[in-house]
Amino acid sequence: MPYYRSVGEVPRKRHTQFRQPDGSLYAEELMGQEGFSSDSSLLYHRHAPTAIVAAEEFTPPAYTRVPNLPLKPRHLRTHKLDGAGADPILGRRYLLANDDVRIAYVLADRPSPLYRNATGDECLYVEAGTLRVESTFGVLDAVAGDYVIIPTSTVHRLVPTGDSPTRLLAVEANGHIGPPKRYLSVRGQFLEHAPYCERDVRGPDAPLLVDDTDVEVLVRHRRGWTRHVYAHHPFDVVGWDGHMYPWAFSIHDFEPITGRIHQPPPVHQTFQGPNFVICSFVPRKVDYHPDAIPVPYNHHNVDSDEMLFYTGGNYEARRGSGIEQGSISLHPSGFTHGPQPGAAERSIGVDFFDELAVMVDTFRPLDLCDAATECEDDGYAWTWARRP
The one catalytic residue in 233, 243, 262, 331 is: 262
**What proportion of the chain, given as a percentage, has pLDDT over 90?**
84
| Inter-residue contact 225 to 60 (CB < 8 Å) | yes
Domains 51-251 and 257-385 share a fold: yes
| Inter-residue contact 282 to 354 (CB < 8 Å) | no
Q: List the single range of 14-23, 76-85, 203-212, 368-377 with lowest mean pLDDT.
A: 76-85
Task: Please give the angle made by the CA atoms of 285, 188 and 139, to the nearest 5 degrees.
Answer: 80
Catalytic residue check, 262: yes
Greater confidence (130 vs 343) lies with 130
- Determine the residue type at 21: P
Residue 315, annotated ligand binder? Answer: yes
Q: Where in 243-369 does DSSP place strands (E)?
A: 247-250, 269-273, 276-281, 284-285, 305-313, 327-331, 352-353, 355-362, 367-369
CATH class of 51-251: mainly beta
- The conformation of residue 274, written as its DSSP 8-state character, comes to T
**Boundaries of every domain in the chain:** 51-251, 257-385
289 vs 72, 256, 317, 338, CA distance in Å?
34, 17, 19, 21
Beta-bridged to residue 161, according to DSSP, are 130
Residue 337, annotated ligand binder? Answer: yes
CA dihedral for 238, 242, 247, 251, sign (positive or negative): positive
Q: Give tens-digit pLDDT for 22-81.
A: 999 999 999 999 988 999 999 999 999 999 999 999 999 999 999 999 999 999 999 999
Q: Give tens-digit pLDDT for 217-259.
A: 999 999 999 999 999 999 999 999 999 999 999 999 999 999 9
Residue 213 confidence (pLDDT): 97
Residue 388 confidence (pLDDT): 36
Calculate Rg over the CA atoms of the chain.
Answer: 22
Q: How far apart are CA 329 and CA 208, in angstroms?
A: 39
Candidates 94, 93, 75; CA nearest to 83 is 93
Q: How far apart are CA 178 and CA 273, in angstroms?
A: 7
Beta-bridged to residue 146, according to DSSP, are 250
Statement: residue 136 has pLDDT above 90 = yes
Pick among 2.60.120.430, 3.40.50.150, 3.40.50.720, 2.60.120.10: CATH of 257-385: 2.60.120.10
pTM of this prediction?
0.95
Q: List the single range of 128-142, 175-189, 206-220, 332-346 with lowest mean pLDDT.
A: 332-346
